[in-house]
Amino acid sequence: MQPKVSVIIPCYNQAKFLPKAVASLQAQTMPDWECIIVDDGSPDNAAEVANNIALKESRVRLVQQRNGGLANARNTGLAQAQGEFIQFLDSDDTLAPEKFERQTASMDQKGLDISYTAFCNEIAGKYTASRSIRLSLRRILVSWGMGASVPIHSFLYRRAFIQQHDLKFIHSRREDCQWHINCFSRHPRQTLIADYCGAYYYQNEAGMTGNYMRMQEGNFEFMAYMLPQLKGLSKLLWVFRISEELWIWLLRMLKYRSTGIAKTILMLPTTATIIAILMMPISAWWILVYFIKTYIAK
């Protein structure tokens, strides 16, 4: 019998979190699901842990492959999936018990391609609810990573929509952002279930502070990669997003007293860089609003 939901869990060096992630599936009020754990050449005992889970839980199966990165692991899971709906879940995150039941019911009733819920951040065992964010292609292009990010396990996707548009994850620095640009570029029928925290997003208490400048270079590299793939208004909005990123880069250089130059800026076409710089007086307003919402109006 075809499962209603296929859950894809890529795993690399996260074996200790796997049982908790799978337990959140077993707690679902809708039991009609399958789980595909993709061991992406993990150096820890992920395969052993996943296999032990699969021996006790018939809805879980293990797929092993050489290390190819997160995008490749998710694509492997997509190729193996049989369900009507697709749920991505990282091995250190969890889902709320009624997520499948609520989202599949809403999507079936309204004939939707994509739905997503509010989410909660988990830090040191404590949960804080996020603001509900209604997404659009414009908002993803301009604000993803700056107050409009939604973790991928908040979403549920109709597999027929993914297959119709041959959607795949691409090897890049920012797989989730690129995936959602590609999804929302196809104008899906979608909705936000705003009154329900369906996903729990685990955040390392230590954070990424020590790697912020390296992250910044990754952001510019991703933006340079995406620019030629966008057309018309989408490309203009992406250049505006680059202007926002220039502000973030400058502020981080001041905060961390870094004198390094993000060399990946040089990967951007000269014309796009000039336009992004000219847009900076306008994007300064977006940056101000972002900092107020993130650090003051919590």
Residue 136: CATH number of its domain: 3.90.550.10
- Using 50, 70 and 90 to split pLDDT, how confident is the model at 177? very high
* 49 and 166 share one domain: yes
For position 261, what pLDDT does the model report? 61
* 198 and 233 share one domain: no
Mean pLDDT, the chain, whole residue set: 89
Query: 137-168: b or e for each residue (b if 16 or more CB lie within 10 Å)?
Result: beebbbbbbbbbbbbbbbbbbbbebbeeeebe
* pLDDT over threshold 90, residue 132: no
Query: Pairing state of beta strands 190-202 and 155-158?
Result: unpaired
For position 208, what pLDDT does the model report? 40
What's the mean pLDDT in 190-202? 91
> 110 or 254: whose pLDDT is higher?
110
For position 259, what pLDDT does the model report? 59
* pLDDT over threshold 80, residue 204: no
d(CA 2, CA 22): 20
For position 212, what pLDDT does the model report? 65
pLDDT in tens, 23-63: 999 999 999 999 999 999 999 999 999 999 999 999 999 99
Angle, CA 253 vertex, CA 251 and CA 258 arms, to 5°: 165
- Using 50, 70 and 90 to split pLDDT, how confident is the model at 209? very low
- Spatial neighbors of 115 by CB under 8 A, at least 6 apart, are 103, 106, 107, 155, 156, 190, 191, 192, 193
* Relative orientation angle of helices 212-226 and 175-184, to the nearest 10 degrees: 30
* pLDDT over threshold 80, residue 241: yes
For position 220, what pLDDT does the model report? 87
What's the mean pLDDT in 259-270? 71
* 150 and 271 share one domain: no
For position 129, what pLDDT does the model report? 80
- Where is the domain boundary, 202, 221, 242? 202
* 77 and 179 share one domain: yes
d(CA 44, CA 189): 40
* pLDDT over threshold 50, residue 194: yes
d(CA 113, CA 85): 9
- Using 50, 70 and 90 to split pLDDT, how confident is the model at 206? very low
* 100 and 135 share one domain: yes
Query: Which structure tokens are listed for 183?
Result: 């999804």
What's the mean pLDDT in 137-149? 90
pLDDT in tens, 13-34: 999 999 999 999 999 999 999 9
* 37 and 135 share one domain: yes
- Spatial neighbors of 163 by CB under 8 A, at least 6 apart, are none
- Spatial neighbors of 82 by CB under 8 A, at least 6 apart, are 2, 3, 6, 34
Question: What domain range includes position 217?
Answer: 209-296
* 46 and 104 share one domain: yes
* 72 and 129 share one domain: yes
Q: Could you give the maximum distance between any two Cα atoms of the chain, in Å? A: 60
Q: Phi, psi (5° rounding) for residue 270?
A: -55, -45
Q: What percent of the chain has pLDDT over 90?
A: 71
- Where is the domain boundary, 164, 186, 202? 202
> 238 or 287: whose pLDDT is higher?
238
* 195 and 93 share one domain: yes
* pLDDT over threshold 80, residue 225: yes
β-sheet bridge partners, residue 88:
8
Q: How many structural domains comprise the chain?
A: 2
Name the pTM for this structure. Answer: 0.91
